[in-house]
Amino acid sequence: EVQLVESGGGLVQPGRSLKLSCVASGFTFSNYGMNWIRQAPGKGLEWVAYISSGSSYIYYAETVKGRFTISRDNAKNTLYLQMTSLRSEDTALYYCARPVQPGYFDYWGQGVMVTVSS
Amino acid sequence: EIVLTQSPTTMAASPGEKVTLTCRASSSVSYMHWYQQRSGTSPKLWIYETSKLASGVPNRFSGSGSGTSYSLTINSMETEDAATYYCQQGSSYPPTFGGGTKLELK
C-alpha cells in the first residue's frame, strides 16, 4: 500500500524558516518524481514544487521561487521542503503527492499544517 | 500558466439527480484530471486522462471533453458524492487546478 506521511509543520513567525518532510512507503521511491502541493484554509489547491526521481530536474511555483527548496533523500525514502522567508500567505496545509504521466497525482499524503503568524 | 475555471462554484443536488460539473481551460490541454475532496480529508484522484475512473470510483461517474472544455458527470447523485471536486491540467507547466465545485446534498 502506497503511503505518504508528512511532518514538520507548525506555527512560525513571518520571516522565519521551517522544513517539511514526507516519508514514502509502499513503492520504489527512487523511481518517481515527487511534488509539494498546498491548500490555504478554505481555499483551493496550489502546486508548489516538483523534483525528479534523481533530483536532476526541479521546478517551483513563482510564488515560492527563491524562498523554498525541494530536495529528496532516496536512501531514506524521504522528500523535503525547506521554506525560508515565510509570509502569512504561505499559511496552508502542505501535501506531498506522487505524479504520474501525463501529469496527474495518484497518491497524496494526509497533509501537514503550516501557520505563519506573529 | 493555464487558468482553469470551474462552474458552478457551489451546487446542491437531490439523490438520484443527474449532475454535471464543468471545467474550462484558458488554453487547450491534452487531458483533464479530477479530484474529489471530502471535508477534512486529502484530495483523491477521481478521474484521470479526461475519462478514466480511478480505482474504486463508482461507474455512475464519467468524464468527457477536449481542448478547453471538460466535464464531470454523476449519472445519479448519491449521499456519498457530496464533496468538492477539482479539475487539474498537467499538459503545460506549471500544473494548475481549478477553484473547485462544492457539491452538496439537497
Interface membership of A61 toward B (CB under 8 Å) = yes
Does the pLDDT value for residue B91 go beyond 90? yes
Please name the member of A45, A47, A105 whose beta carbon is closest to the beta carbon of B45.
A105
Average pLDDT of each block of 10 consecutive residues along chain A (118 residues)?
98 98 98 98 97 97 98 98 98 97 94 98
| CA dist., res. B62 & res. A60, Å (int) | 32
Cβ atoms of residues B99 and A42 within 8 Å: no
Q: Where are the beta strands (DSSP E) in A26-103?
A: 34-39, 45-51, 58-60, 68-73, 78-83, 92-100
Instruction: Locate B49 and state its grid cell.
Output: 486522462
Q: Decide if A47 and B48 are in contact by the 8 Å CB cutoff.
A: no
Q: What is the pLDDT of residue B79?
A: 96
Grid coordinates representing B101 are 465545485
- Residue identified by cell 507548525 is A10
DSSP secondary structure code for residue B33 in this structure? E
pLDDT at res. A101:
87
Q: Which residue of B has its CA nearest to A36?
A: B95
A8 touches B: beta carbon within 8 Å: no
Give whole-number Cα distances, B83 to A20, A108, A116, B25, B92, in Å. 28, 17, 28, 22, 27
* pLDDT, tens digit, 9 for 90 and up, residues B49-68: 999 999 999 999 999 999 99
Q: Cβ of A95 and B95 within 8 Å?
A: no
- pLDDT number for residue A2: 97
pLDDT at residue A102 in the model: 81
Residues of A within 8 A of B33 (CB-CB) are: 103-105
What is the distance in angstroms between the Cα of A26 and the nearest Cα belonging to chain B?
A: 17
B90 and A109 within 8 Å at the Cβ level: the answer is: no
DSSP state of A56: -
Q: What is the pLDDT of residues B4-47, one digit of tens each?
A: 999 999 999 999 999 999 999 999 999 999 999 999 999 999 99
Mutate to test the interface with B, among A105, A106, A110, A113 (most CBs of B within 10 A): A105
